Amino acid sequence: MSSTVSIADLIEEYSQGPSLLESSTKGLTDSQLDALPVAGTWSIRQIVAHTMHMDAVACDRMTRMISENTPLLVNVDEDAAIAGRLYEGLPLVTMLSLFRLNREIMTHIFKTRPQVDFARVGVHTHAGLITVQSVMEKYVKHLKHHLPFIEKKRQMV
């Protein structure tokens, strides 16, 4: 996604994320969600949990960038939750609901903000200066990155 995409189009694409994630997991059983058909990779449940968790982090970051002056945005070790087994047994419906609700809240916020707010910045501890728009773009891409892995694993379980 390029910065030549309009904010309105970016908001629309961002708002469609929950439907994509829900469709990718529709009809899966707990054993399919937890299967590890490829050694050393994440299960579908872990992918969904990771996606939900990181999206919640992004919502916090974007809200803070819109409402605070250049907030500090601390990096998250995305592998720590997997290694710590935090996602085991999390209910799929709850994860999908949280993902949907966070995206709906942020979509409402985005639609009510002036264009200038999408250029507001925060300082990320690893990435440096980032904008609201760049975080939106990153998390649209983040979901698109993980959906093919879910599809591939669906076909294997």
* pLDDT tens digits, 11-55: 999 999 999 999 999 999 999 999 999 889 999 999 999 999 999
Q: Inform me whether the pLDDT recorded for 1 exceeds 50.
A: no
Element (H, E) at 95: helix 92-112
What integer best gives the mean pLDDT of the chain? Answer: 96
Asked if residue 2 is part of any domain, the answer here is: no
Query: Measuring CA to CA, which residue among 137, 57, 156, 37 is closest to residue 99?
Result: 57
Structural domains in the chain (count): 1
CATH number at 142 reads 1.20.120.450
**Residues 143, 50 contacting (CB under 8 angstroms):** no
Asked if residue 1 is part of any domain, the answer here is: no
Q: What pLDDT, on a 0 to 100 scale, did the predictor assign at position 3?
A: 55
Give the dihedral sign, CA 128/132/137/139.
positive
For residue 24, the enclosing domain spans 7-156
Q: What pLDDT, on a 0 to 100 scale, did the predictor assign at position 2?
A: 46
Judged by average pLDDT, the poorest of 1-10, 33-42, 124-133 is 1-10
Note the pTM of the prediction, 2 decimals.
0.94
Give the side-chain half-sphere CA count within 13 A for 114. 3
The CA radius of gyration of the chain, in Å to the nearest whole number, is 16
Query: Measuring CA to CA, which residue among 123, 10, 6, 106 is closest to residue 59?
Result: 106
Residue owning tokens 């995305």: 78
Q: What pLDDT, on a 0 to 100 scale, did the predictor assign at position 81?
A: 93
Asked if residue 116 is part of any domain, the answer here is: yes
Q: What pLDDT, on a 0 to 100 scale, did the predictor assign at position 87?
A: 96
Asked if residue 76 is part of any domain, the answer here is: yes
pLDDT above 70 covers a percentage of the chain that reads 98
89-106 mean pLDDT: 98
The neighbour count for residue 152, using CB atoms within 10 Å, is: 13
Q: What pLDDT, on a 0 to 100 scale, did the predictor assign at position 5?
A: 85
